[in-house]
Structure 1
């Protein structure tokens, strides 16, 4: 079902629940994996995905439709990830490298994420990136979003995103070539 149809159904009280359920079915997996690539842990990703859809439920009526629905969802998911990671660092008074080490341990322990040796090394390299660079890299490389779409989601210029992605790729290449 097209997003415009879902939004039109959501606008009517009698079809609101059905429309929201269809929206969740359509986007839940994409939102979950977007979050999971950032927070790594399944339980955290699951909780954050639920938080995202709670926010969507509460705010869908005010969605202006000047952006695409999925970019709006990604923006909410991205903000939830950044808030979660930031609060985790503050809550445990952890320096960035300790949070990165914790996430790397979770990648190594997770069969869905670890993959083969090369895939594991890529994941470790990605986790060493600053959060926002990691977001840009994940959205461009894994989610195959266009820079214009990422720009809408993150509220950053296309030029800055291209630079950020290029720097992220260089850092990843350097890490992978270290051995």
Structure 2
């Protein structure tokens, strides 16, 4: 694994940019894919958003000021691309984002790339009911095991606000799961 500082300098050098970008994709594609997948739910959509994310990263690497980590910067791009994608998909279908999320979770059981059991499906249904910010924070903390400090850098918000969002998300998920 190439350290980010070396990777960034190689990405900004036109002589080493292509090779460095392949290395960047290799290092981060799986992590970014799963982050995106948890947001957009559908495998094919996640692939599309991941591709868009890497295109944006490639086009904008020279404007990366290194005020945050490379990881945080790329995650912000992935989040924004996912949100843009979901908003556009909901608009195309003429439904709200909440309805879109509910439909995506309903279709998850038929997704050949979903290998979870009934419990995981029920958890995904509960997560789909959360407001966007809580959903994002829950996924980043629970599935990706990011620290509040890492999330704070990525989402550009305070650790306290993130802890509150996570706490509220957990309570809502618990209520959803015990309602039956």
Give the TM bin, normalised by the shorter chain.
over 0.9
Alignment CA distance shift 1:111-1:175 (3 Å): farther
Q: TM-score, normalised by structure 1?
A: 0.94
Q: Identify the residue that residue 86 of structure 2 maps to in structure 1.
A: 85
Q: Which residue of 1 aligns with 2:71?
A: 70
Give deviations 1:59-107, integer Å, cap 9, x for gaps: 1111111211011010000011111122222232213442132111222
Count how many residue pairs are aligned between Structure 1 and Structure 2: 179
Q: Deviations over 1:37-59 (max 9, x none)?
A: 11111111101000000000011
3-state SS, counterpart of residue 166 of structure 1: helix
CA contact (8 A) 1:82 1:131 kept: no
C-alpha distance in 1, partners of 2:101/2:48?
20
Q: Within 5 Å, which residues of 2 pair with 1:129-140?
A: 129-140=130-141
Q: Give structure 2 stretches of 5+ with no counterpart.
A: none
Shift of 1:144: 0.8
Give SS of 2:67's match: coil
SS at match of 1:59: helix
Asked whether the 8 Å contact 1:114–1:123 carries over to 2, the reply is: no
Contact 1:136–1:165 (Cα < 8 Å) also in 2: yes
Question: 1:106 maps to what in 2?
Answer: 107
Task: Report the aligned-residue RMSD.
Answer: 1.4
Q: Aligned residue for 2:27?
A: 26
Rounded to whole Å, the distance in 1 between the matches of 2:159 and 2:114 is: 29
Distance 1:134 1:112 in 2: 21
Which residue in the other structure is 1:174 paired with? Answer: 175
Partners of 2:161 and 2:119 in 1: CA distance? 29
Tell me how far apart the structure 2 counterparts of residues 176 and 99 of structure 1 sit (CA, whole Å): 21
Structure 1: 5+ residue stretches without partners: none
Distance 1:64 1:97 in 2: 35
Report Cα offsets for 1:149-178 as digits up to 9, x if no partner: 111211222111111111100010011111
After superposing the two structures, state which structure 1 stretch, 7-16 or 53-62, moved more. Answer: 7-16
- Residues in 1 aligned to 2:138 and 2:89: alpha-carbon distance in whole angstroms: 22
